[in-house]
Structure 1
Amino acid sequence: MRTRLSTRERREQLLTIGAGLFAKRQYDEVWIEEVAEIAEVSRGLLYHYFPTKKDFFAEVVRTQRDQLLAMSEPDPALPVAEQLRAGLDVYLEFARTHPDGYRIVHRATGGADREIQEIREVAITANAERILTALGELTTVTEATRLAVRGWLMFVSEAILHWLDHQTVTQDELRDLCARTLFAAADVQL
């Protein structure tokens, strides 16, 4: 028997199901019919919320990205090193407790799809700007610093994905490794 949900609740349910499926399988291996079946709704209802599979996937990626960005908003009252560690703690905890959501945001390629690339770029740019603002309190931010921060963000993304799959170090060890790596890449002495 189908459960009646509000429009907002149904949309959230569909996005949650999508996050779980897309995190475990490639885009082409996820079927809209399967999402509808799990949600116990018609395929037509799913298409009412999301006109195409691509739109659905893009909204799954966007929703997970926005959730992670909101959770990791820095506290400017903290010293820079503590802001960074706190942000890393949020990312690592999110990855640990929401591995599907983390994988969706950081593995989403959508092939050469421009919309998916733009969704990811918003996250990268937002995080880079947060970090550069904080680093600006410790050093002069140069183009080399900007490049180092963007490269560091890719490193952290890959390190967390590897950690999720293998857990060869503790969460605290990974956080500390990532923090040390940023300060070394940005040539900042603490």
Structure 2
Amino acid sequence: MRTRLSTEQRREQLLAIGAGLFAARPHDEVRIEEVAEIAQVSRGLLYHYFPTKKEFFAEILRTHRDRLLAMSEPDPSLPVAEQLRLGLDVYLEFARTHPDGYRIVHRSADDADREIREICAEGVYANAERILAVVGRVREVTPVTRLAVRGWLAFVAALILDWLDEPKISQDELRDLCVRTLFAAVDVAPSAVSGEVREGPHTGI
């Protein structure tokens, strides 16, 4: 006997199934009808929630992007280093527990469709602004700093995708690696972070 789900529960179920399919196969090879078959619902019900395959895929991206941003919201009352580490802990835990969603979001940044690219770009921009706000507590944010943070985010995304495929180091080791490379990228010495005093550029991290 099929379990009756609320509207929101059914929507979440369909999005989760879709995330698994899109993460496992190229976008063009996934039929949206497969989702209805796996969920054991009618195609009509599926299309009631998501009229087109593109809208379905876009909603999967938005859902995982927004969920990750909400979970990793920084606490400005914490010291800079702790904000960064806790934020990365949440980020990595999300990737570990929602690997399908994470893979989809970070492998869709180069999608040919403009709307899909913009959904991903909005997430990168929001993350970059958060990090820059934290970094701004210990050093001046310049155009170089902004470029460095965006480059670091791309580096971290690639690193996590590799880690999900082959987790050869622990989650804590990966987090510490990401923190060290961020400090190096924005040219901030770890000793400066503990005091949280705005300083000029540093050398020799």
Report TM bin, short chain.
Answer: over 0.9
Which residue matches 2:193?
none
Deviations 1:42-89 (A, max 9, x none): 112111111100000000011011111111001111111111111111
Report the CA distance between 1:110 and its aligned residue: 7.2
Specify the SS of the correspondent of 1:4.
coil
Superposition misfits of 4+ residues, deviation over 4 angstroms:
none
Which residue matches 1:58?
58
Specify the SS of the correspondent of 1:140.
coil
Count of residue pairs brought into register by the alignment: 190
Alignment partners' CA distance in 1, 2:9 and 2:170: 36
The residue type paired with residue 6 of structure 2 is S
Alignment partners' CA distance in 1, 2:58 and 2:159: 24
Report the CA distance between 1:109 and its aligned residue: 4.4
* Residue pair 1:27, 1:110 contacting (<8 A) in 2 also: no
Counting aligned pairs with the same residue, the percent is 74
Alignment partners' CA distance in 2, 1:67 and 1:19: 14
Alignment partners' CA distance in 2, 1:180 and 1:154: 15
CA RMSD, 1 decimal: 1.2
Structure 1 residues 91-130: aligned runs within 5 Å: 91-109=91-109, 111-130=111-130
Alignment partners' CA distance in 1, 2:109 and 2:189: 35
Deviations 1:132-174 (A, max 9, x none): 0000000000000000000000000000000000112111111
Alignment partners' CA distance in 2, 1:166 and 1:14: 28
Which residue matches 1:167?
167
Which residue matches 1:181?
181
Structure 1, 43-52 or 107-116: larger mean CA deviation: 107-116
* Residue pair 1:61, 1:119 contacting (<8 A) in 2 also: yes
Report the CA distance between 1:122 and its aligned residue: 1.1
Alignment partners' CA distance in 2, 1:177 and 1:3: 44
Alignment partners' CA distance in 1, 2:122 and 2:82: 24
TM-score by length of 2: 0.89
2:153 is equivalent to residue 153 of structure 1: yes
The residue type paired with residue 92 of structure 1 is L
Report the CA distance between 1:2 and its aligned residue: 3.6
Which residue matches 2:80?
80
Question: What are the ranges of 5 or more consecutive residues in structure 1 without an aligned counterpart?
Answer: none
Q: 1:52 to 1:110 in 2, by over 3 A?
A: farther
* Residue pair 1:2, 1:41 contacting (<8 A) in 2 also: no
Question: What are the ranges of 5 or more consecutive residues in structure 2 without an aligned counterpart?
Answer: 191-205
Report the CA distance between 1:111 and its aligned residue: 3.1
Structure 1 residues 9-48: aligned runs within 5 Å: 9-48=9-48
